[in-house]
Structure 1
Amino acid sequence: MKRRQFLTQSSYIIAGSALPMTHLFAKETISPEMEFLSNYMSQAYSKKLPEDILEQAKFHILDTFSAILSGSELAPGVSGINYVKRHGSTGKCTVIGTQLKAGPLEAALANGMMGHADETDDSHGRSRSHPGCSIVPATMASSEIFGITGDHFIKAVTLGYDVGTRLLMSLGGPEFSYTSHKSSHSIAGMFGSAAAASCVAKFNPQKIRWVFDYTAQQSSGIAAWGRDTDHIEKAFVFAGMPARNGVASALLVDTGWNGIDDIFSGADNYFLAYAPNAKPNILVDKLGVQFEIALTDIKKWSVGSPIQGPLDALSILLQKNKFNADDVEKLDVRLAPSAAKVVNNREMPDICLQHMMAIMLMDKTASFKAAHDIDRMKDAKVLAQRAKVNLISDENLNQFMPIRVAIVEVILKDGRRFSERVDAVRGTPRNPMTKVEVFDKALDLIGPVIGNDQSKELLAFVNSLEQQTNLNKLSYLLQKNS
């Protein structure tokens, strides 16, 4: 090729490659949604929360710490701890339920793994996410880096719930989760964790927008977690990864990184990549007026969400009618097909509806210990009761989703029939647990891990969290000290 031909063709190539790049260097505009959101977030740590929201936030923080502590002794939690032991960096962040300290990313990862080590953490139905198991670990790790008060901690967690759930709802909520093959749980957790960490760091609006940029680039997770049989991948997708990545986004910006001013609008933005029909206005809808932490469920029973309603219904029937397990001929449970699929004859006790209904028949309750006793899945007496349980996928209940309506009918050997329908599961905003119930659940979960006396101290500390000037004692109370 002659020199002139080479230079001519090269200039065409250069000119052609430059054309589609011009939009990358155009001055960025910030959407009204991002403007409002980033400004609101930058002020969240200094704004007073309504008293009822403050109380609910403390309930969810305590409930999540309880899930983490109990999860520290389950396989996913142990996996997270072992990762820190083998590959963790030195640092000052608490690895809950242990004597270990680590860097913020490893601590957030491990504590997140513990937080969703089983099915006892909170859940948000309208976004189909589990906010607490990632947001609370992210806030905890960030707080030990930046040093904040208990009141600031509560506000950061509350903001995380507001941002993570709204982001997911703007993508389409449960419908997005069911049709996109992506994990709604990881997406909501990641943005919620990043928002909480930004609040802890007291970032200004510009830095918050950059945090969103790096969070969007890390946003990942696909629905293949549904094939996980040991809950380890699920714990990583729901909690460990989102907590770690959310903290990472904040720490990158804290060290001076900049980024795109508005990842939610403009060319190649996050919504175009994930859900072209998204509704960005939901990001700021009722923000500061409606607090999503108060619209998040606290589970009464330490089992998968679709089993909550059936256990409630059977518990009510047992109290009303005073029958025993051996009196039962047959037990029918009706759930919407998408809910029934999740809990139908699963390998783990806490997400197997048939097994947990048998446990409720025999024990008249469903304790944390019983929900994690794998050996009982092979017990002949339990198997005899489990054989009576018939799970029915009822298309008629689809109309109520994402509310998981449950109908339980018990047929006794003497011919009597009892039926109970649950539209509002205990622990949901329409049927909330009392403070006594929340504390009783916490003691059931954490007492065996850190002892009764330390458990009561932890409950008292969280109950007065807004009054605490530093969180050193919290770090101590969350570790295994004997």
Structure 2
Amino acid sequence: MHADAPVTTALAQYVADAEARQLPADVVERAKLHIIDALVAMISGATLRPGRLAAAYALSRGGVGESTIVGHGARTNPELAALVNGMSAHADETDDVNDLARVHPGASVVPAAVAMGEALDRPGSSLLAAVAVGYDVACSVNIAAWRSLPRMQKSMHSPHGIGQAFGAAAAAASVARLPMDQHRYVLSYTAQQVSGISSFYRSPDHIGKAFASAGMQAHSGVRSVEMVRAGFTDVSDVFDVSPHAYDAFGEDGDPGRLVQELGTTHHVMTTDIKQYPVGMPIQAPAEALERLLHEHGLTADDIESVEARLPTHGSRLVNARSMPDISLQYVLAVMLMDGRLTFDSAHDYRRHEEPETREVMARIQLVPDETLDPPDDPDPAARRTRIATVNIRTYDGRRFSRHVDAPRGSRHNPMSWSRIADKAHMVLDGVIGPKRVDTLTETIRDAERLTSVRQLRDHLDVHR
């Protein structure tokens, strides 16, 4: 280890050793779940406006390479493929979330790993190792960059723009099998590209959000690796010698804490998968409402009012938003009207504005509730942040209530393979058909048997 750059060297070594490191069986299985979840988001997102625009942009650049533009079947260089597929993965709110680090790791790490895996013709085992190390780096960098989670939540600098860039770079560098010195250069070039302010929360149509929350980071991470592979060199101490990375972003960042984080927690295990293709703060209230409707046989015609109580931070993100899939009032209204939520109904801008929908939305009140805010627990992983209480009052005076503090898919209540398959069918049956959905999930379930990531290509083209 370089005595004058112990943190940068430790991080670089952790990435360099990823493919040789023996992962626990449960970590491998969870990595597969997050890969399939990200691919579902990429394929469905390719049909939405952010994904379509990103693909058109890349195709207009005329890039040549072996990396697939998901949904279109065309191939380009890995940088452009990572950009497009990252934007498709976060073209809506289908992708995963890590609340301890405030990142959408799958939307940047998986596109980067797949793009490089195709470009370099790597096996499925390389993909699994790259995704696992990418999640670790994305989350560890952020957890060490801020003094506390509340500070991170209030930051004007987007945590997505920081951790996900390093996570994507780590995944791509692992696939590239770089020499140790070059891993340090990758970290330096990635640090120079870290960007993002939280203005994307005001994005009216998810296009800027898709770039700032996923595509930019996937592109930057792969670009760092490709530049270093082309012979670019730089400093080897970007996390050690001031001015260093944590001088520029985060708040009271602790490089030493970054080293402590690495390897102590596998962050695919701490990352939440959404059961519904909507914003993460809506997961718990949607589950609570769905259970109440089914248990008591209620419909919109029965219900006078719905009160959804959420932690204060999540409430700000999903209160009466203009985008249907991150508007709590819209999502719950659709569930009241239809008895369920589908991918199409979650993204129906026209229905969002219809008078009938608006009338039901008016019955739904979102209440920020400080008593649901997570305590400042000494063990951050113990915090339960996906919490909601839903209270229903019917026209005939009945009252029902349901509290959910660990919705399906959260780290405290992980998804099973059958649940992830159900989600894949809900999102993709109308896009690629149920038979291809089954084949896709079965292929990723046996990912270590893939002799090449290029074997995924047939699954990634919407029009095949």
Instruction: Output the TM-score relative to the length of structure 1.
Output: 0.91
Q: How does 1:157-236 map to 2 (within 5 A)?
A: 157-172=131-146, 174-236=149-211
- Secondary structure of 2:288's counterpart equals helix
Structure 2: gaps spanning 5 or more residues: 376-382
Q: Does 1:434 align with 2:416?
A: yes
CA contact (8 A) 2:140 2:261 kept: no
| 2:249 is the alignment partner of 1:249 | no
Matches within 5 A, 1:288-437: 288-400=263-375, 403-437=385-419
Match 1:237 to one of 207, 212, 222: 212
| Cα offset, 1:481, TM superposition | 4.3
Question: Could you tell me which of 6, 19, 27 is aligned with 1:53?
Answer: 27
1:126 alignment partner AA: L
SS in 2 for 1:45: coil
Amino acid of the residue matched to residue 177 of structure 1?
A: M
Residues of 1 paired with 2:156 and 2:362: CA distance?
A: 33
* Within-5 A mapping of 1:46-125: 46-125=20-99
Q: Deviation above 4 Å: which 4+ runs of structure 1?
A: none
C-alpha contact 2:374 2:385 (8 A) present in aligned 1:
no
**1:467 is matched with which residue?**
449
- Please tell me the residue identity of whatever aligns with 1:319: H
Distance change >3 Å, CA 419–CA 276, structure 1 → 2: closer
Q: Deviations over 1:371-417 (max 9, x none)?
A: 01122213333222212101112222234577132111001112111
Amino acid at match of 1:123: V
CA gap of 1:31–1:402, structure 2 versus 1, over 3 A, is farther
Greater shift in the superposed pair: 148-157 or 323-332: 323-332
Q: Shift of residue 135 of structure 1?
A: 0.6
Q: Which amino acid aligns with 2:456?
A: L
CA drift at 1:477: 1.7
Which region of structure 1 is more displaced relative to structure 2, 67-76 or 164-173?
164-173
How far has the Cα of 1:456 moved from its partner? Answer: 2.1
Shift of 1:44: 0.9
**Residue aligning to 1:445:** 427
> What one-letter code is carried by the residue in structure 1 that aligns with 2:385?
I
Whole-angstrom CA distance in 2 between matches of 1:286 and 1:461: 32
2-structure distance, mates of 1:205, 1:449: 42
- Tell whether the 8 Å contact from 1:97 to 1:450 is kept in structure 2 after alignment: no
The question of whether the paired residues in 1 share the 8 Å contact of 2:118 and 2:452 is answered with no
The answer as to 2:121 corresponding to 1:147 is: yes
Match of 2:81, as an amino acid?
Answer: A
Structure 2 contact 141–163 (Cα < 8 Å) conserved: yes
Q: 1:360 Cα shift? A: 1.2
Q: CA deviation at 1:207?
A: 1.3
Cα 1:108–1:310, aligned 2, differ >3 Å: closer, same or farther?
Answer: same
Shift of the alpha carbon at 1:307? 0.7
Q: Which residue of 1 aligns with 2:379?
A: none
Q: CA RMSD in A?
A: 1.6
1:123–1:129 Cα contact (<8 Å) kept: yes
TM-score by length of structure 2 reads 0.94
Q: Deviation at 1:270?
A: 0.9
- Answer with 1 or 2: which has the greater Rg: 1
Q: Does 1:267 align with 2:242?
A: yes
Alpha-carbon spacing, 1:422–1:103, altered in 2? closer, same or farther (3 Å): same
Identity, % of aligned positions: 38
Distance 2:410 2:293 in 1: 21
Q: Quick one: which amino acid aligns to residue 242 of structure 1? A: Q
Aligned partner of 2:257: which letter?
I
Distance in 2, Cα, partners of 1:176 & 1:215: 23
Comparing 454-463 and 181-190, the one that deviates more: 454-463
Q: Secondary structure at the match of 1:76?
A: helix
Give the Cα–Cα distance (whole angstroms) in 1 for the partners of residues 185 and 441 of structure 2: 36
Between the aligned partners of 1:46 and 1:178, the Cα distance in structure 2 is 35
Residue type at the aligned position of 2:113: T
The answer for the alignment partner of 1:131 in structure 2 is 105
